[in-house]
Amino acid sequence: MIHRLACLTMVLVLAGCGEKPAPVDPTVFTIDGRSVPRSRLDEYFAANLLELPGETPGDPADGNVARSRVFDNFIDEELLLLEAERRGVAVSEREVDARIEQLLRLVGDDQPEDLSRMRNPARCEIMIQKLRAAVSFAEVTVTEREIDRYLEQHRAEMLPDSRAVLRFLTLKDEAEANRIRLEILRTGMDFAEAVEVFSADPSRTGPLELDLEILPEEVSRSLQRLQPGEVSRPVVFHGQTYLFALRSRGSAMGWSESELRERARREVLRGGTREVLDGLIARLREETTLVVNLEDLPFQYIPDR
């Protein structure tokens, strides 16, 4: 979601005249007096700042634009989390454990360096999912006519199945991932060979057959447009850096009409839910006091005009 800040009541707090020591974890903004620290923003950037339009290497201006739009999205998610809390949305420790287990299974890492760092992002993700489900159930309906219209407009786009067979490499950091990806592209090295050469444990790198739609959005976004044989750009997720290679993608040519209609229904429902959430965020912006500390942002903020 990319939202304009023009309709958001934003108080921009500028640095004072006198010098003062910077806090260890400065507050980047507050929502109705609740502080959001820089560490939360850094965590969000690490997961969401890859492969964005305008993120041109070596162009600081474009980099600031991309970071500004991701920062806008971060604010939107914090507003949704606050609304979820107001509505009494609860997440149990068991739900957090289950989500972390699912994520670790998807990436083939059963011994992460710091499991505790995954708990808060997982909890926030579940809270927003529950809020989205509640909004969808209460305010969004899908009619047969809407399904017919969607199929008329998008039937051809629905043929590629979301199921795919992937292999992946877990690497030290984004720089190493970029270096290895370029080596693969330059030499034409098969990804399976790259796994044998660069992976500390090739047996834990796939291949995996899975549905791309169940992956976290920051991962699936990087994989949706991959074609068989292609290697993704580096994907940073919960502090780990990955390269993915698409081996094959399924086909929906054998789908029945009822299966296509169900898929169309889900897409219409997703679109309706997104519209309702956008309206909810617009209302929250109008009703919420947001204070952004520009001097504590790790980039130059550029408004979305």
Domains of the chain (ranges, CATH numbers):
10-87+286-296 (no CATH), 93-152+258-279 (no CATH), 161-251 (3.10.50.40)
Cα gap 107→171, rounded to integer Å: 12
Peptide bond into 202 cis (omega under 30): no
Of 28-37, 39-48, 58-67, least confident by mean pLDDT is 58-67
Cα gap 64→185, rounded to integer Å: 29
Confidence (pLDDT) at 189 = 78
Please tell me which of 22-31, 149-158, 210-219, 273-282 the model is most confident about, judged by mean pLDDT: 273-282
The per-residue pLDDT for range 164-176, each reduced to its tens digit, is 777 888 887 888 8
- Other C-beta atoms lying within 10 Å of the C-beta of residue 92: 10
Residue with tokens 């809390």: 85
What are the CB-based long-range contacts (under 8 Å, 24+) for 296-300? 296/22, 296/26, 296/27, 296/28, 296/38, 297/28, 297/41, 297/71, 298/38, 298/41, 298/42, 298/45, 298/67, 299/63, 299/64, 299/67, 299/68, 299/71, 300/64
Cα gap 197→290, rounded to integer Å: 50
CA angle 164, 277, 302 (to 5 degrees): 90
Which pLDDT band holds residue 121 (cuts at 50, 70, 90)?
A: confident
Q: Are 75 and 4 in contact (CB under 8 A)?
A: no
Confidence (pLDDT) at 211 = 65
Task: Please state, rounded to an integer, the average pLDDT across all residues of the chain.
Answer: 77
Name the CA dihedral angle for 64, 68, 71, 73, rounded to a multiple of 10 degrees.
-130
Q: How many CA atoms lie within 13 A of 119 on its CB side?
A: 8
| pTM, two decimal places | 0.59
258: alpha, beta or left? (left if phi > 0; alpha if psi -120 to 50): alpha
DSSP conformational letter for 234: P
- β partners of residue 235: 242
Please tell me which of 101-110, 168-177, 275-284 the model is most confident about, judged by mean pLDDT: 275-284
Q: What percent of the chain has pLDDT over 90?
A: 28
Q: Is residue 15 pLDDT above 50, yes or no?
A: no
